[in-house]
Each structure stands twice: as structure tokens, then as C-alpha cells.
Amino acid sequence: MSSDQTLTPTSYIVLGLLANAGASTPYALKQGVAGSIGHFWSVPHSQLYAEPERLARAGLVSEEREPGGRRRRVYAITDRGREALASWLATDDVRLPELRDAGLLKLFFGAEPGAIAPQLAAGHRERLELYRSLHEGLQRMGEPAAGGALLTLEAGIAHAEVWVAFWERLAGEDQAGDAR
Amino acid sequence: MSSDQTLTPTSYIVLGLLANAGASTPYALKQGVAGSIGHFWSVPHSQLYAEPERLARAGLVSEEREPGGRRRRVYAITDRGREALASWLATDDVRLPELRDAGLLKLFFGAEPGAIAPQLAAGHRERLELYRSLHEGLQRMGEPAAGGALLTLEAGIAHAEVWVAFWERLAGEDQAGDAR
DNA sequence: CCTATCATGTAATCCGTTACATGATTAT
DNA sequence: ATAATCATGTAACGGATTACATGATAGG
């Protein structure tokens, strides 16, 4: 019951996944992240070994070992973990996110747009199409309780569209300038 | 000349500011960040004391002390620092940024949109208006060499618009649902 | 058989966040 | 004078990145 109270976003990702998927090994968490929220907030797999340990120390998850074979660690969310997750979900802590985009940083400091815009445009376009197909897939199989994922993807789509338009504009302008 | 080569975005922010503004104290760097790039990529002031030290060890900036008074440290970019900055600006390292938005995270894990949307909508709207006025100001005083800042603000405006629309939609939908 | 890739974990390093602290100015 | 804010720094702690490592499983 040493609840230090300083939970990070990584903590809530682990708690959230455990709440949705039930007891999981770190590897299962890794799969869970990769297949869903990881598109918007990735977590290196080493953290998915370290973080459940911390949460176990805080009493928010329980830790057991598989009986046979590799005796892997299996984590499950506890009642206190559910409480912590629920109270986080309910609070309106409005820390506005920053863009923190390395491409923008370069642009700001005077990089030639043509040197970076095409690659970024292509990357964001690819991501945009992934989001669209994921969204379509989720919608098609009318999952209940997938509402959060749908909304998340909608936000991702809108942002990817903005980025594609932005970098494509710069790529185009530069190309025009060079061609003249 | 111990060039470890592992420069972070913070490193380039410091190098970029020193290249643009000339020799600066950490406090001047802090002002520089706050007034410009800090809107998109903030850096706590403690880093603006630590980072120049690292860069000095790597030979990318020089460090001197004011002769009189407080003998504050003054940093200036060196030729090697300019090279490092220029080569970073020229490379098309396409690490796509992630959204990493705490609000989205909550949404994904099932938060009630109405609990968080209004605050976020308001916050993003405020930021949007700041960006617009900064953009207008920059444009009005037709600075040369402010092209990067203008483009950065244009990206910021487009993203803020997307966020405002997204959270306002959720705030509205929820309100409608509650009102019934 | 051999070699990729998947699965599963540990270790080291370090940046970044978060306090803590105190000297100067300015305002009341 | 005294409070408040600006200016200027230091210290500690810990999460995140990155690399290192090795056992299974499947494909060729």
C-alpha cells in the first residue's frame, strides 16, 4: 500500500489495457499497445516490463507467475487500480499537448522545406490511410465499447490530413521554385 | 573535441537560438524559447543551464564568463556547432511525430467526453487565437528570415483548428445527450 | 539443417521533470 | 519597508531510450 501517487501516462496505458483485456503478460501488453493506442502514444516494450512492476509495488496491479513452463509474470488490475484508472478518466486535467514535431523544429530554424517536406508528406499520408482503414474496420464490426477507439482514430485522421496538406504544400512550393 | 554525436532536440533548440541571436546567457535562452519556439516545443529553464554545458563539452558552443558583476556564463555557437546545426537542418530524418495527447488517451480508454471536452476546447481555442495574432504580427512587420516562424505558426494554426473542432464537437454531442 | 523472425527479458545511461533556493528589482 | 515578481541558478530522482542477450518456432 505504498501509493506514491505519481502515475505517468505509461501507468494509465498499462492499467487501461489490463482493465480491458484482463490479466496479461508484458508481451501481451506489448501486443495490445502495438495494435491500438500505440499508433498515438507508443511505449517501448522494456517499459511494459518495468511499469507493471512499479504498479505492483503501488498495489494497483497484482503479480503472479505462470505455474509451469517459463513461469512468466502475469499481471492483473486490482480494485485499487481500477479506482486509480477511473479517477484519472474522470478528471479534467487540461494540460494542453504540444506539437513537438521535429520537422517543424527544423522549419522554424530555417531548414529548406524541400529537403524534408516530401518524406514527411509521404509518411503522414501512409499513416492517414492506416487510420482510415482501421476506422472503417472498427465501424464495420460495430463493436460496442470501441467508442473511444473510434473517436481516437477520428482525431488521428483529422490531424494526419492537416499534416499531409501542410507538407505537400511545402513540397509543391519548393518544387515550383526549383523548377523555375 | 569529445563529440558524442547524440544531440537531442533540446540541443538543436539551443544551437539554433545561439545561431540566430548570438552569444547568450541561459536566461536569455529562456526568454528566446518562451517568445518563439516554446509555443510548440517548450524547454524547462533548468535544461537551458544544463544543455549548453553539454554542448560546450562537445565543442559545439564556447563558454565565457562576464567580466564584472555576476560573472554569468555566456555561450556562443562555434563553427563546429554551426556545422552540426546545418547538417541536422539538411537531413530528412523522417521520424513521424506521435500525437501523445493525454486527452485522447483518456478518450481511448473510455472517458466520458463531456468530462474533458469543454476545457480542452477552450484551451485550444485560446492557443489558436494566440497563434493567429502572432502570425499577423510577424506578417505585418515583414521580417525577412522569419519565414520559418511563419510556417511554424501556420502549422500550429491548422492543428489548433482541428483540435478546437474535435473537442467542440464532443462537448456539443455530450451536451445534447445530457439535455434530453 | 540453418537462418530469420518471434518471444522474452535485463542493464546502463541520461535527459527531463520537479523541486529547492536565493539575489535583484519594482511596486505599494 | 515590505511584498511581489523577476532573474538566476543547483540538486535529486526516476522514467524513457537504447542496446544487449538468448530461447523458441517456423520456413526454406
For every residue of A22-51, DSSP letters joined together read -SB-HHHHHHHHHHTGGGTS---TTHHHHH
The grid cell for A65 is 507467475
Q: Kindly determine whether the C-beta of residue A119 is less than 7 Å away from any atom of nucleic acid strand C.
A: no
The grid cell for A162 is 492537416
CB atoms within 10 A of CB A63: 13
Going by C-alpha positions, the residue among B70, B44, B58, B46 that lies closest to residue B15 is: B58
End-to-end CA distance of chain B: 69
B72 versus A81: the higher-pLDDT residue is A81
Task: Return all residues near B34 (Cβ < 8 A) that are at least 6 apart.
Answer: none
Overall residue count recorded for chain B in this entry = 180
The grid cell for A20 is 480491458
A138 pLDDT higher than 50? yes
A146 versus B84: the higher-pLDDT residue is B84
A42:B98 CB<8 A: yes
Q: Which residues pair with A77 in a beta bridge?
A: A61
pLDDT 10s digits, B113-158:
999 999 999 999 999 999 999 999 999 987 777 789 999 999 999 9
Q: If you measure CA to C1', which residue is closest to nucleotide C10? A: A46
Contact between B18 and B76 under an 8 Å Cβ cutoff? The reply is: yes
> Considering only residues 139-178 of protein chain B, which place a Cβ less than 7 A from any atom of strand C?
none
Query: Rounded to an integer, what distance in angstroms lies between the CA atom of residue B105 and that of residue A148?
Result: 9
Q: Of A97-111, B90-104, B129-143, which one has max mean pLDDT?
A: A97-111
pLDDT band of residue B97 (cuts 50, 70, 90) is very high
Q: Which nucleotides of D are covered by protein (CB under 7 A)?
A: 7-12, 15-19
pLDDT at position B1 is: 45
Going by C-alpha positions, the residue among A47, A48, A59 that lies closest to residue A84 is: A59
Determine the longest span between alpha carbons in chain B, in angstroms: 71
pLDDT at position A175 is: 63
Query: Rounded to an integer, what distance in angstroms lies between the CA atom of residue B17 and that of residue B4?
Result: 21
Overall residue count recorded for chain A in this entry = 180
Contact between A117 and A170 under an 8 Å Cβ cutoff? The reply is: yes
pLDDT at position A180 is: 44
Global pTM value:
0.93
A149 pLDDT higher than 90? yes
pLDDT 10s digits, B54-71:
999 999 999 998 776 678
Quick one: how far is CA A90 from the chain centroid? 19
Residue at grid coordinates 517568445: B35
B113:A151 CB<8 A: yes
Q: Kindly determine whether the C-beta of residue B95 is less than 7 Å away from any atom of nucleic acid strand D.
A: no
Average per-residue pLDDT for chain A = 91
Query: Number of residue pairs across A and B with CB atoms under 8 Å?
Result: 181
For every residue of chain A, DSSP letters joined together read --------HHHHHHHHHHHHH-SB-HHHHHHHHHHTGGGTS---TTHHHHHHHHHHHTTSEEEEE-SSTT--EEEEE-HHHHHHHHHHHH-----PPP---HHHHHHHTT--HHHHHHHHHHHHHHHHHHHHHHHHHHHHTT-TT-HHHHHHHHHHHHHHHHHHHHHHHHHHHHHHHHH-
pLDDT at position A176 is: 63
Mean predicted confidence (pLDDT) in B89-93:
90
A108:B40 CB<8 A: yes
Mean predicted confidence (pLDDT) in B162-176:
89
Q: Mapping DSSP to helix (H, G, I), strand (E, B) and coil, where does residue B96 land?
A: coil
Q: Mapping DSSP to helix (H, G, I), strand (E, B) and coil, where does residue B176 land?
A: helix
pLDDT at position A173 is: 82
CB atoms within 10 A of CB B34: 13
pLDDT band of residue B179 (cuts 50, 70, 90) is very low
Mean predicted confidence (pLDDT) in A150-169:
98
A178 pLDDT higher than 70? no
Mean predicted confidence (pLDDT) in A148-157:
96
Interface test with B, best of A99, A127, A153, A170 (most B CBs within 10 A): A99
Task: Return all residues near B114 (Cβ < 8 A) that are at least 6 apart.
Answer: B170, B171, B174, B175, B177, B178
Q: Kindly determine whether the C-beta of residue A21 is less than 7 Å away from any atom of nucleic acid strand D.
A: no
A102 pLDDT higher than 90? yes
pLDDT 10s digits, A121-132:
999 999 999 999
Query: Rounded to an integer, what distance in angstroms lies between the CA atom of residue A66 and that of residue A143?
Result: 31
